[in-house]
Amino acid sequence: MPEIFAGSAQYPRDAAPPVVTIGNFDGVHLGHRHLLGRLKRRSEELGVPSCVYTFEPPPRVLLAPQLRQSRISPWDEKVRRLHEFGIDQIVIERFTRAFAQHPPEWFVREILERRLRAKALVVGYDFRFGRARAGDVDLLRSTVPYLPVEQVRPHSDDGDIVSSSAIRRLVEAGEVKRASVLLGRPHAIIGTVVGGEKRGRKLGFPTANVESDSELLPLPGVYAVRTRIDGVPDWLPSVANLGTRPTFDGRQHLIEVHILDFRGNLYGRQAQVSFISRLRDEKKFSSADALSKQLKQDVIAARALLT
């Protein structure tokens, strides 16, 4: 695991000056990996640690709550993916309104120079910092002309700039297949299997009701997914329904997962649901039999995609 420091003030004075990048890195998607790859190469060239400097909570959560965006993945998932990428250090700065008032020059002198003692910087194409986002790469270079700064070009796929915002829009629109391309993996949520009304079992399609704190959920509908259950090593082909079960006049939003060819008690176990492709909208059927016939078609479609 990378070394994790609770704020730049905790960065040890006897540590080797690192190569630093700055950002939220929500999702650690292909655009982030493009930047992180350059960070790693630069740190290896200089023989010093690679360091990701990030904020908690993300600045937008505090400064513009009305524009708050759902996190693609929880904090521990972000740390795990940074670890898998080989990042040596993570500095988590507590973001407050007082911190937000510091001008860009203070950030450069106090955080980058005095606390982190950065050896070099690698930043993204849209990098801004300091009060009112007034700082940019030009200001950085003029303030500390002796500090090497590399600005990485945006990473694109089929003409689309890969960004966390683009991925959120795709997932929220149900376009999980396209989102998986930009993420570099399928979007996934994690939750606990809880008891339900067992309607699926009566229809011949038992479901695991997944209670999740994940912030970013796909548009309601039916999806081909893969499910990993705590204690089961394999990803299992499945069909997931997100919505209110309108055939039964449901009100509560549920995540119900039917795992193909699986039998067993899942109550209380953790489930990770990975969204592969959207099959159809959620709809109200005229009867339970009509719904059951559609579910059979959903299973056929999902099996063709997943197996």
The domain locations on the chain are 3-161, 186-306
Q: Judge whether residue 290 has pLDDT over 90.
A: no
Rounded to an integer, the average pLDDT of 176-187 is 97
Q: What percent of the chain stands above pLDDT 70? A: 95
Instruction: Give the tens place of pLDDT for each residue, 230-274.
Output: 988 899 999 999 988 766 666 677 899 999 988 888 889 999 999
For 84, which DSSP code? H
pLDDT band at residue 146 under the 50/70/90 scheme: very high
pLDDT of res. 296:
92
CATH fold for domain 3-161: Rossmann fold (3.40.50)
pLDDT of res. 264:
80
Is-contact 93 5, C-beta < 8 A? no
87: left (phi over 0), alpha (psi -120 to 50) or beta: beta
* CA proximity to 194, closest of 277, 115, 252: 252
Angstrom distance (rounded) from CA 295 to CA 190: 24
Task: Say what the pTM is.
Answer: 0.92
Q: Judge whether residue 202 has pLDDT over 60.
A: no
Q: Judge whether residue 23 has pLDDT over 60.
A: yes
Rounded to an integer, the average pLDDT of 193-217 is 79
pLDDT of res. 140:
94
Question: Which CATH superfamily does the domain covering 186-306 fall into?
Answer: Riboflavin kinase-like (2.40.30.30)
pLDDT of res. 285:
82
Pairing type for strands 221-229 and 270-280 reads antiparallel
